[in-house]
Amino acid sequence: MKLLLLITLCLGGVSSDGPNKDCGSPNADLVKVEFIPACEKNVCVITRGQQITILANFLPKINSRNIYVTAFQTEPYFHYETLMWQGENLCGKHNITCPLEANRMQYTVVNGTVPSNMPVHKTTFRLVFYGDNDQRLFCGTCPVEIR
């Protein structure tokens, strides 16, 4: 569930006016992202127990049998980065169809609830999406405040 939340937040504004940033996307283009609720200008503020939805269309530039995600969290005061998940396969989840084909649009739908037991804090999440042979598809970072 927490990985679902991170994917939702970090993709939610990479191609919009939100606070999220592209951190290197050489092999895929994020074509359209709709995030509900919308992020504020400088941070995605979420509330424990809140419903989150994202609709994201991305266009792979390469073929890949699979798509994997690795997640990191950066502690805001000491700026150290912690690995949260490594190499989770997203094929068959969130409407992602594998194998990925170059120039065939993927229409991703992610729905989730912020866990009510998630601690209240500020952090930055970084998600890196890979294809086969560790080829980076795209990457997004997002500042998050959990209330």
pLDDT per position as a tens digit, 58-103: 899 999 999 988 888 887 777 788 887 788 888 998 888 899 999 9
Cut 0.85: pTM above it: no
| Cβ neighbours of residue 101 closer than 8 Å, sequence gap 6 or more | 60, 63
Q: How many domains does the chain have?
A: 1
Which residues are bridge partners to 139 per DSSP? 128
Residue 124 reports pLDDT greater than 50: yes
Whether 106 and 96 have beta carbons less than 8 Å apart is answered as: yes
Question: How confident is the prediction for the chain on average, in pLDDT?
Answer: 80
Q: Domain containing 51 — which CATH number?
A: 2.60.40.770
3-state class (DSSP) for residue 88 = strand
